[in-house]
Chains A and B, each alone.
Chain A
Amino acid sequence: MEKFDIEKFREGDEKLFREIVDMYGERLYNVVFRILRNVDDAEEIAQETLVIAFMKRKGFRGEASIYTWLVRIAYNLSINYIKKRKPMVELDPRLSSGNNPEQEIERKEVFQRIDEAVKELPPKQRLAFTLRFYENMPYKNLSKVLKCKEGTAKALYHFAVEKLSEKLKDLHSIKGDI
């Protein structure tokens, strides 16, 4: 559980802000990557999130944790980014060149299918899935990030899982380590 001095943060204490960046910078990047499925975009949005958070720090009232607040900013930025960006082809850094070529092709296919399936989810479901599945975020916090009721947050996660499961059902037959 984070224990930041909210007032100090709101006053713009740089030392405290550095702690926040060190603690949450990479976590934010992970969340944003899982929403946008692109390394460069995720890096850019994670950085932008921290900039905006500092600039708008007076608006943080401490009703939710700083992390929840940061994720909310990151999510809003990601949504805007999705609306504006042009589709880009990126060399998938998850693929290493040292493996067996057949395995690599298989891995590539799996990652591509996962990326496609996630990108087809509506943004709220993407975020609900990311935060619940990977971060194990309680539904109460998830509802704060998504600005909805707990029941709605739960439903969003369930819908996301069901949709992903439907989209990827044929992947279950693909063997090999991903």
Chain B
Amino acid sequence: MNCRDFSNRLMDFIEGLLPHHEENKMREHMNHCEICKSKFLQIERTLEIFKEDSVPQLRNAKKIALFPLVMEQIKERTIRVRKKRKWAYSLSFGFTLILVFIVSIIGIRNQRKTDYYTLFLNPDQFVYEDDKDVNNYLLKSLIKNDTIVTDLKNAIDEEWVNNAEMTILINELSDDEVNKLVEELKNLDFKGG
């Protein structure tokens, strides 16, 4: 056994964890190696000192009162935790409400947008919403059907016409022109925007 092996096994030797034959090798090594022997003695003495290192006894009053004290603290903290949870629940409930509200608003807005695209077409009564996109579709169709007037062209150039103007323009169409327009509009993909 060399000094390195001795050092690697020293703690196991001190703790009595080595097999008998290895313990003998350790003792043999110490017989002819003063450095390793002094290392062993130093550790052994240190551990002897620590064996005498006492812990001040837990105060009797503390020992008796430990369980009630612990339970008192647990109760206090449980109340605190419940309060915190209550707050957290209230906050999350409020947050959920706000979220639902926001989602509803977005939903309604989307719904309205869809409504814009879903035109109810009747040759006798042309019903539509005053929406820029829809109006532009209508106008493009009117142009395609050669039913435009100069004002209509101007309106497209300006990219906007209001509801009243559109109504006037449509009222000027003949029944055939309206029917043609309706058929045209039916084939248009409004949802495509």
Interface residues of A (CB under 8 A from B): 14, 18, 21-22, 25-26, 29-30, 33-34, 39, 43, 46-47, 50-51, 54-55, 92-94, 110-111, 114, 133, 154, 157-158, 161-162, 164-165, 168-169, 171-172, 177-178
* Interface pair B49/A171, CB less than 8 Å apart: yes
* Interface pair B67/A22, CB less than 8 Å apart: yes
- Which A-B residue pairs are the 4 nearest by beta carbons? A93-B56, A165-B46, A158-B11, A50-B70
Interface residues of B (CB under 8 A from A): 11, 14, 42-43, 45-47, 49-50, 52-56, 58-59, 62-63, 66-67, 69-71, 73-74, 77-78, 81
Binding site secondary structure of chain A? helix
* Interface pair B58/A43, CB less than 8 Å apart: yes
| Chain B residues within an 8 Å CB radius of A54 | 70, 74
A126 to B96, CA, bound (A): 49
| Contacting residue for A25 out of B52, B56, B63, CB 8 A | B63
* Interface pair A178/B49, CB less than 8 Å apart: yes
7 A-B residue pairings within 8 Å (CB atoms): A18-B67, A25-B67, A34-B55, A51-B74, A55-B74, A111-B53, A169-B46
| Chain A residues within an 8 Å CB radius of B53 | 111, 114, 178
